[in-house]
Amino acid sequence: MKKVITFGEIMLRLATPNYQRLIQSTNLNANFGGGEANVAVSLSNYGIPTEFVTRLPENDIAEWCISDLRKYNVGTRHIIRGGDRVGIYFLETGAVARASKVVYDRAGSSIAGIQCGMVNWREILKDAQWFHWTGITPALSQGAADACLEAIQIANEMGVPVSCDLNYRKNLWKYGKTASEIMPALVEGCDIILGNEEDAEKVFGIQPEGFDVSHTGGEVDAAAFESVCKQLQTRFPKAKKVIITLRGSINANHNTWGGCLYAGGKLFQSKRYDITHIVDRVGGGDSFMGGLIYGLISYPSDDQKALDFAVAASALKHTIYGDFNLVTVQEVEQLMKGDGSGRVSR
């Protein structure tokens, strides 16, 4: 089976335990995570061969990171080495009315120093069936944006499908360019576009009429986003499918979760999951993307099933600590069939 290639930054994640605030915690739990690496781990768990491409320094933290990826059968042989540091993010998990908080310490990380020509994309993509990137990568530096565009253009030349998660992060765009300046050229080369209820608005100024994410009351109407999908396809005609994740936030521990997929002039809608006791929502969108790529590869003629797999996979991710979604195809399919009882499996 051909591989899925993902490209982006992986970071050391330092999180407070037991809902503690950073100011009160005396110890931090260490894991690794990052949008594109999270997708690669999901796909590896589903039996899809993957390669994660990034740039890491030559030090023990980087070796620890690579070892962690290999533990989950993610390919690392195309990781290039250079630069001085692995980026870090600190996570303070919120509860009820107190929102979670992320503090980045990733300035000057190795991947921010990447340049066009450092990665042999033709060699990497020759055995690929898919290439995935997110809007986080071009936010890191002009060099990272250029390398991402280089990969997309070569994938297009080689006939490799390209997917993107718009993943707008306002706190990352600090090198003098805005997302609206950089992202269009990259998204133009994509076959699959994923975003949440805010990404299209923040990056492209596209929004559903009369929608305010801060006042969802836990319910987000999928039909309201059909116009968003149509506008994205009009602007980026190469995109065959546009997908929106739909999160209704009742509080930090209780969300509703679903999605919609627009393709061929038809809007597909998923069931809505009521996630009442969130363990960790970080990586939820990445777990959706990993499930979606698996679904589109495995059920190429059934967009509804691909969407349902993605939503169920990401609903399960909310029950798992850390960035990575450590579930199997069987577990996802069991939830898709309606078995969310959580009974002990013996």
- Can you give the residue ranges of every domain in the chain? 3-335
8 A C-beta contact, residue 35 and residue 59: no
- The rounded distance, in Å, linking the Cα atoms of 239 and 121 is 22
Q: How confident is the model at residue 167 (pLDDT cuts 50, 70, 90)?
A: very high
Task: List b or e across 219-255, with b for residues whose CB sees 16 or more CB atoms inside 10 angstroms.
Answer: ebebebbbebbebbbeebeebbbbbbbbbbbbebbeb
pLDDT, tens only, 236-262: 999 999 999 999 999 999 999 999 999
CB neighbour class for 88 (10 Å; exposed up to 12, middle 13-18, buried from 19): middle
Sole residue written with tokens 């149509």: 230
Mean pLDDT on 64-70: 98
Q: How many other β-carbons are positioned within 10 Å of the β-carbon of residue 188?
A: 16
| pLDDT at residue 220, rounded to an integer | 65
- The CA-based angle 292-293-298, given to 5 degrees, is 95
Number of H helices, E strands in the chain: 11, 15
The whole-model pTM stands at 0.94
| pLDDT at residue 338, rounded to an integer | 87
State yes or no: pLDDT of 207 exceeds 90.
no
Q: What is the mean pLDDT of the chain?
A: 94
| pLDDT at residue 339, rounded to an integer | 74
Question: How large a percentage of the chain has pLDDT more than 70?
Answer: 95
| pLDDT at residue 197, rounded to an integer | 77
State yes or no: pLDDT of 344 exceeds 60.
no
Mean pLDDT on 170-196: 95
State yes or no: pLDDT of 322 exceeds 80.
yes
State yes or no: pLDDT of 128 exceeds 80.
yes
338 CB-near residues (< 8 Å, 6+ apart): none
- The CA-based angle 185-44-273, given to 5 degrees, is 80
| pLDDT at residue 195, rounded to an integer | 93
Task: Give the SS3 label for residue 163.
Answer: strand
pLDDT, tens only, 300-320: 999 999 999 999 999 999 999
CB neighbour class for 215 (10 Å; exposed up to 12, middle 13-18, buried from 19): exposed
Hey, what are 99's tokens?
Answer: 């929102």
State yes or no: pLDDT of 214 exceeds 70.
no
- The rounded distance, in Å, linking the Cα atoms of 291 and 171 is 27
Mean pLDDT on 273-293: 95
Least Cα distance to 137 among 123, 119, 159, 158 occurs for 119
- The rounded distance, in Å, linking the Cα atoms of 100 and 36 is 21
Angle between the 284-298 and 303-317 helix axes, to the nearest 10 degrees?
150
Question: What CATH architecture applies to the domain 3-335?
Answer: 3-Layer(aba) Sandwich (3.40)
Q: How confident is the model at residue 196 (pLDDT cuts 50, 70, 90)?
A: confident
State yes or no: pLDDT of 213 exceeds 60.
no
Hey, what are 82's tokens?
Answer: 């250079």
Comparison of pLDDT for 344 and 202, the residue scoring more: 202
Mean pLDDT on 48-68: 98
| pLDDT at residue 222, rounded to an integer | 76
